[in-house]
Amino acid sequence: MNSNNSNGNGKNSRVEERIIVALDVGDFGRAEELVQDLKGVISFFKVGLELFTACGPDVVKMVTGHGAKVFLDLKFFDIPNTAAGAVRSASSLNASIINVHALGGAEMMKAAANAAAGCKNPPKVIAVTVLTSFDEAGFSNIGISASIEDSVMNLATTAKDAGLDGVVSSPSEVRTIKKHLGKDFLIVTPGVRPHWSTADDQKRVMTPKNAFDAGADYIVIGRPIIEAKEPKTAAERVIEELQE
């Protein structure tokens, strides 16, 4: 595959810079071991709710201190003023990507986009549309009558109109979102599985190559790398397969 990609920033990134490894662990020491082990192969890490709740901002500083980038996956969802404040705090940690829930609505997303724009080193702000853990039955249970597919497109369009940089999306939604919202609207895609790993609890998976071919700008991979016997070897294997 073409290992370069125009990712919406007008800059080309090598494929290994477009793999974000999810540090889904609960303690600082293990997170740092993984960053140290993967350094030189992986340069982008996702800090999510488990790790951030356990360790706080210091863990973001640890990752950036090793020269790597951070996707701070805290999925802010609150009134516009509070969400804007959270975005300012996250931006001060020098995360490269942060996210909010699109279900927070257009006003909240505009407040988030404006808050980031006013920061010294603005991160990309992206939106989670419909959580991939929802099926149609669970989605209608919360009182939303539209289908998941229609809701994803509607929320992604609202996010773009509000000034956000992109969305988190399952691999199966990437093509449609790129087609309707353009190649510069960033897509970060979890639910990615190399052919040699297990799906775990992910339902709709794609290989890294298929996710990039569909148009993903970044892919997020957690367990296939961090739970491998040798995480660095697993990461190298993913990259080699993408370069074939």
Catalytic residues: 75
CB-based burial, 54-83: b 16+ in 10 Å, e otherwise: ebeeebbebbbeeebbbbbbbbbbbebeeb
151 binds ligand C5P (CB under 6 A): no
228 binds ligand C5P (CB under 6 A): no
Of the residues 200, 203, 204, 243, which one makes contact with ligand C5P according to CB under 6 A: 200
Of the residues 216, 221, 234, 242, which one makes contact with ligand C5P according to CB under 6 A: 221
24 binds ligand C5P (CB under 6 A): yes
Query: Nearer Cβ to ligand C5P, position 48 or 166?
Result: 48
Of the residues 1, 106, 119, 131, which one makes contact with ligand C5P according to CB under 6 A: 131
Residue number closest to ligand C5P, CB atom: 222
Query: Nearer Cβ to ligand C5P, position 181 or 206?
Result: 206
Query: Nearer Cβ to ligand C5P, position 32 or 173?
Result: 173
* Binding residues with ligand C5P: total (CB under 6 A): 14
Residue 196 Ramachandran class (φ > 0 left, ψ -120 to 50 alpha, else beta): alpha
CA distance 90 to 122: 10
125 binds ligand C5P (CB under 6 A): no
Q: Smallest distance from the beta carbon of 135 to ligand C5P, in angstroms?
A: 13
Nearest-Å Rg of the Cα atoms of the chain is 17
191 binds ligand C5P (CB under 6 A): yes
Applying CB under 6 A, the span of 26-34, 88-96, 136-144, 218-226 interacting with ligand C5P comes to: 218-226
Query: Nearer Cβ to ligand C5P, position 108 or 127?
Result: 127
Q: Smallest distance from the beta carbon of 170 to ligand C5P, in angstroms?
A: 6
168 binds ligand C5P (CB under 6 A): yes
What residues line the site for ligand C5P (CB under 6 A)? 22, 24, 48, 131-132, 168, 190-191, 200, 202, 220-223
